[in-house]
Structure 1
Amino acid sequence: MKLEAVVLENAFVRLEPFRPEMETEVRATLDCDPASWDVMVAAAYGPHSAGWWSAAMMAMAGGTRITWAVRRKSDGALVGTTSLYEIRPEHRRCEIGSTFYRPEARGGAINPACKRLLLGHAFDARAVRVEIITDALNPGSQAAIRKLGARDEGVLRKHKITWTGRVRDTAQFAILDEDWPGVRAQLDARLAQFGQRD
């Protein structure tokens, strides 16, 4: 498995791998909705943005993470970020996460469009497993992950400590290579419905 930091694009979004010259635009995009950051492991708004950006760039340089800026195709606006991380080529697995969308980009085609691209990128690179995890206290996120077709794998107790110091239980989900054809078909059908309405 070899994952590349390349542009990924479909009818709804263009995912652009982080580059140093994007820092100002990305940080401005993420500087909103502080309450949403409270459930994240790391914060990227306001005073937290410089450290978050540096950590993302270091992880990209180390090959353990690829972070993309999410650009909405309809108007060219940058509306969030998402990543493939915990990249483990020796086990042909990775995670999708560190995802944040501006409030106006939530609830429509953006998230399923991003997940379709990221999952396709991982499985095209011969991944056998893609994990998606979220805070056990975030039922909305868990519902969205289930809607993608990922399977519940339980709760990891005291799995992470968030930037606020809260010890977090993590709900874990995964999509395996044999699951991917069905998940892909479901995502494609879902995105086609958005296209018919637009």
Structure 2
Amino acid sequence: MILTAEVLENKFVRLEPFEPAIKGEVRAALDCDPEAWGGMVASAYGPHFDGWWAGALAAMSKGARIPFAVRSQASGALVGTTSLYEIRPEHRRCEIGSTFYRPEARGGPVNPACKRLLLGHAFIAGAVRIEIITDAMNPGSQAAIRKLGARDEGVLARHKVTWTGRVRDTAQFAVLDTDWPNVRQKLDERLAGFATD
């Protein structure tokens, strides 16, 4: 499995790997909704942004993460971020996460469009397993992951410590290479529905 940092796009979103030229746009896109950041492992809100950005680039340079800025094709504005991370080529496995969308980008085509691109990119590269995890206290995120058709693998108790110091339980999901044809079809059907709205 060889994952490359390249632009991924479809009708709804353009995923742009982090680079210095878009740092200011990414900062502006993430500087909102502090309550949502409260449940995240790391915060990119306000004064936390520079450290978060540096950490993302450091992980990218080591090949452990590909952070993407999410640009709306409709408006041209950056509306959030997402990543392929915990990249483990020897196990042909990675995670999709570190995902944050501005409130106005939630509930529409942005999330399924991003997941379609990220899952497709990783499976084409040879992945056999892609994990998607979220805070066990975030039912909205879990519902969105289930809607993708991901396998619900249960809850990992006391799994991570958030940036606020809270020890969180993590709800874990996965999409396997054997699941991908069905998951891909469902995502394509959902996105086709948005295209006709």
Identify the residue that residue 15 of structure 2 maps to in structure 1.
Answer: 15
Secondary structure of 2:4 counterpart: coil
Q: Alignment identity in percent? A: 75
Matched, 1:33 2:33: yes
Secondary structure of 2:3 counterpart: coil
Identify the residue that residue 127 of structure 1 maps to in structure 2.
Answer: 127
Matched residue type, 1:76: G
Secondary structure of 2:163 counterpart: coil
Identify the residue that residue 180 of structure 1 maps to in structure 2.
Answer: 180
| Cα distance between partner residues in 1 of 2:107 and 2:154 | 25
Secondary structure of 1:143 counterpart: helix
Q: How many residues align?
A: 197
| Cα distance between partner residues in 2 of 1:121 and 1:149 | 17
Secondary structure of 2:189 counterpart: helix
Identify the residue that residue 138 of structure 2 maps to in structure 1.
Answer: 138
| Cα distance between partner residues in 2 of 1:96 and 1:149 | 14
Deviations 1:120-150 (A, max 9, x none): 0000001000000000000110000000000
Identify the residue that residue 72 of structure 2 maps to in structure 1.
Answer: 72
| Cα distance between partner residues in 1 of 2:78 and 2:24 | 12
| Cα distance between partner residues in 1 of 2:119 and 2:111 | 12
Using the TM superposition, give the Cα deviation of residue 21 of structure 1 relative to its aligned residue in structure 2, in angstroms: 1.6
| Cα distance between partner residues in 2 of 1:21 and 1:74 | 21
**TM (normalized to structure 2)?**
0.99
Identify the residue that residue 162 of structure 1 maps to in structure 2.
Answer: 162
Provide runs of 4+ in structure 1 moved above 4 Å: none
Matched residue type, 2:91: H
Identify the residue that residue 61 of structure 2 maps to in structure 1.
Answer: 61
| Cα distance between partner residues in 2 of 1:39 and 1:81 | 16
Using the TM superposition, give the Cα deviation of residue 24 of structure 1 relative to its aligned residue in structure 2, in angstroms: 1.1
| Cα distance between partner residues in 1 of 2:81 and 2:139 | 21
Deviations 1:159-182 (A, max 9, x none): 000000000000000000000000
Using the TM superposition, give the Cα deviation of residue 25 of structure 1 relative to its aligned residue in structure 2, in angstroms: 1.1
Using the TM superposition, give the Cα deviation of residue 75 of structure 1 relative to its aligned residue in structure 2, in angstroms: 1.2
